[in-house]
């Protein structure tokens, strides 16, 4: 089953919200997904109730101390598997650099990790650095959340250029899906952004599902909940279930 990297170089577009709710949607469909928090801010880890005191108990230990993923993987209160993050992850770039042996480390480890069950959803940091490169090299699919505003659309084009530039290193085109978040059909700009994305990107790379603006969706992480537990009948729950189904229907979870 797929390894999905949720990535965007622009912050505030719903990246962690998307990672969290895709994990929950996959679990609701009977799968046993694992989350990987590759952002030093550790938002996904905190929302899922995992806040390790020591950096070596997180991905920092994996990258710097070469601890196996099996040693740092945990089961959250909601039953999801998680490999947590720590603020010390921010030091990995300067400590290890971006050599090939560094950026393929996660991909290699996931092949042998018994504690990681598929599908895997990786919450990336909003920088193209050693951490996010590890996610992109490991991923079968890159999901790019893009909020429905002009600057986010410009940021999406930067992501596309970065992925295209990496193709010689990937030795092929990495599958990607752009998903529009904070969509409000009452706002003209939402429709403009959607139309421009469809025109600017490859056919089929923009998800048909739109994640609509929703108060419950915005509030649920503050209570340590995914949208399905916080508000199962809300538009947010409907939209993330539809997004998971769309990815499944496209064959990314096989």
Mutual angle of helices 130-138 and 105-112, in 10-degree steps = 50
CA distances from 6 to 13, 19, 55, 77 (A): 11, 6, 23, 22
Give the H/E segment covering residue 176: strand 175-183
CATH superfamily, with its number, for domain 3-249? P-loop containing nucleotide triphosphate hydrolases (3.40.50.300)
pTM summary value: 0.96
Distance CA 236, CA 214 (A): 6
pLDDT category at 124 given cuts 50, 70, 90 is: very high
Mean pLDDT, rounded, of the chain: 94
The answer on pLDDT for 105 being more than 60 is: yes
Task: State the Cα–Cα distance between residues 191 and 183, nearest whole angstrom.
Answer: 8
Query: What is the tens place of the pLDDT at every residue in 33-73?
Result: 999 999 999 999 999 999 999 999 999 999 999 999 999 99
Could you count the other beta carbons within 10 Å of the beta carbon of residue 153?
A: 21
Determine how β-strand 175-183 pairs with β-strand 141-147: parallel
Asked if residue 1 has pLDDT above 60, the reply is no
Radius of gyration of the chain (CA): 17
Position 186 scores a pLDDT of 93
Nearest by Cα to 159 from 11, 59, 40: 11
Cα separation, 22 vs 29, in Å, equals: 11
Cα separation values, 237 from 32, 60, 214, Å? 19, 33, 10
Sheet holding 81-83, edge to edge: 74-75, 81-83, 34-38, 120-124, 3-6, 141-147, 175-183, 206-212
Predicted confidence (pLDDT) per residue in 138-181, tens digit: 999 999 999 999 998 898 999 999 999 999 989 999 999 999 99
């Amino acid at each position: 089953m797929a390894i999905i990297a949720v990535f965007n170089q622009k912050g505030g577009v719903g990246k962690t919200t998307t990672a969290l709710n895709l994990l929950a949607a996959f679990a609701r469909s009977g799968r046993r997904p694992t989350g990987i928090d590759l952002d030093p801010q550790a938002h996904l880890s905190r929302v899922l109730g995992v806040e390790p005191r020591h950096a070596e108990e997180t991905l920092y230990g994996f990258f710097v101390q070469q601890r196996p993923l099996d040693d740092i993987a945990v089961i959250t209160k909601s039953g999801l598997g998680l490999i947590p993050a720590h603020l010390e992850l921010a030091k990995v770039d300067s400590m290890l650099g971006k050599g090939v042996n560094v950026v393929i480390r996660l991909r290699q480890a996931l092949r042998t990790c018994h504690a990681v069950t598929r599908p895997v959803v990786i919450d990336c940091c909003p920088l193209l650095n050693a951490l996010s490169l590890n996610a992109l090299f490991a991923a079968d699919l890159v999901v790019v959340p893009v909020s429905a505003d002009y600057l986010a659309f410009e940021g999406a084009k930067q992501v596309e250029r970065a992925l295209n530039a990496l193709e010689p290193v990937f030795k092929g085109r990495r599958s990607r899906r752009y998903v529009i978040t904070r969509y409000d059909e009452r706002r003209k700009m939402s429709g403009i952004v959607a139309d421009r994305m469809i025109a600017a990107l490859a056919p089929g790379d923009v998800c048909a599902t739109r994640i609509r603006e929703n108060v419950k969706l915005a509030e649920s992480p503050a209570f340590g909940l995914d949208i399905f537990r916080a508000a199962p009948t809300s538009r947010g729950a409907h939209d993330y279930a539809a997004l998971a189904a769309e990815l499944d229907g496209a064959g990314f979870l096989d």
